C-alpha cells in the first residue's frame, strides 16, 4: 500500500511540474519580439514620412521697362508721359491700413475660366475699357507667333497700379483704371538692360 501511495504522489508532483513550465499559451503573456541581428535595424510598421522639397521663390524679371501712358486727363495737343522702372503693384486689403501689396512684372489676365499670365517681356500694349464692379476690362497686345493670338481681351483687378520713376527722379503711381492706352517696351537707356545684354554675348 505504501508503495502504491508513493508512486501516486510521485506522478502527481511530476504532472504539477510539467503544468507549471512557462509557455506562450499557458502564461497568457504576448510573445517577445525578435531582436534584429547586430548591425541591422529592427523592422518598424510606421512608414517614413517623405521630406517636402522647398518651394522655389519666383524671381522677378531683372529687365527695366518704360511705359508710355495716355491717360483720361490728357488734353488735345498734349504729349503722353513716360515712366521708367515700371512694375505692377497689387494693393492688398489690410485691417490695419497702410499700403500693403505685392509687386510683379507679370499681368494676370482673367479670360473666362482661365487666368493668363502675361510677362512684361511679351507685353506690348494695353487698352483700358470700362470698370465693372471690382474688375477692369482691358485689351492686351502681346508678342506671339500666331497673328490670331496677338490680341487678348479679358479683365484685371480694378485696383491695379503701375509704379515707377518719372523723369528718373520722382516716384510715380499710375492707377490703371485712369489710363486709356499704355505702351510698354525695354528701356534702351537703362544700364541694367545693357549689362544683361552684354552677359548673353
Q: What is the pLDDT of residue 26?
A: 47
Give the DSSP H/E element, type plus range, for residue 195: helix 191-199
Q: What is the pLDDT of residue 7?
A: 55
Report the sign of the C-alpha dihedral through residues 58, 98, 156, 188, in that order: negative
Q: What is the pLDDT of residue 73?
A: 93
Give, in order, the Cα–Cα distances in Å from 80 to each of 149, 158, 162, 197. Answer: 28, 22, 15, 28
Instruction: Give the range of the structural domain holding residue 176, as residue numbers without chain letter.
Output: 65-199
**Does 149 fall in a domain?**
yes
Q: What is the mean pLDDT of residues 11-33?
A: 52
**Does 29 fall in a domain?**
no
Domain count, the chain: 1
**Does 123 fall in a domain?**
yes
Amino acid at each position: 500500500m505504501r508503495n502504491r501511495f508513493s508512486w501516486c504522489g510521485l506522478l502527481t508532483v511530476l504532472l504539477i511540474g510539467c503544468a507549471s513550465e512557462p509557455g506562450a499559451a499557458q502564461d497568457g503573456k504576448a510573445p517577445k519580439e525578435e531582436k534584429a541581428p547586430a548591425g541591422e535595424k529592427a523592422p518598424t510598421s510606421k512608414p517614413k514620412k517623405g521630406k517636402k522639397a522647398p518651394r522655389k521663390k519666383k524671381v522677378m524679371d531683372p529687365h527695366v521697362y518704360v511705359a508710355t501712358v495716355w491717360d483720361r486727363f490728357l488734353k488735345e495737343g498734349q504729349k503722353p508721359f513716360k515712366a521708367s522702372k515700371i512694375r505692377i503693384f497689387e494693393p492688398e486689403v489690410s485691417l490695419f491700413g497702410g499700403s500693403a501689396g505685392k509687386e510683379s512684372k507679370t499681368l494676370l489676365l482673367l479670360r473666362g475660366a482661365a487666368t493668363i499670365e502675361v510677362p512684361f517681356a511679351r507685353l506690348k500694349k494695353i487698352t483700358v475699357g470700362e470698370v465693372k464692379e471690382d474688375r477692369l476690362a482691358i485689351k492686351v497686345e502681346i508678342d506671339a507667333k500666331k497673328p490670331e493670338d496677338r490680341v487678348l481681351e479679358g479683365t484685371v483687378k480694378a485696383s491695379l497700379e503701375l509704379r515707377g520713376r518719372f523723369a528718373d527722379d520722382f516716384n510715380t503711381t499710375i492707377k490703371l483704371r485712369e489710363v486709356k492706352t499704355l505702351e510698354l517696351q525695354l528701356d534702351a537707356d537703362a544700364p541694367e538692360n545693357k549689362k544683361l545684354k552684354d552677359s548673353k554675348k
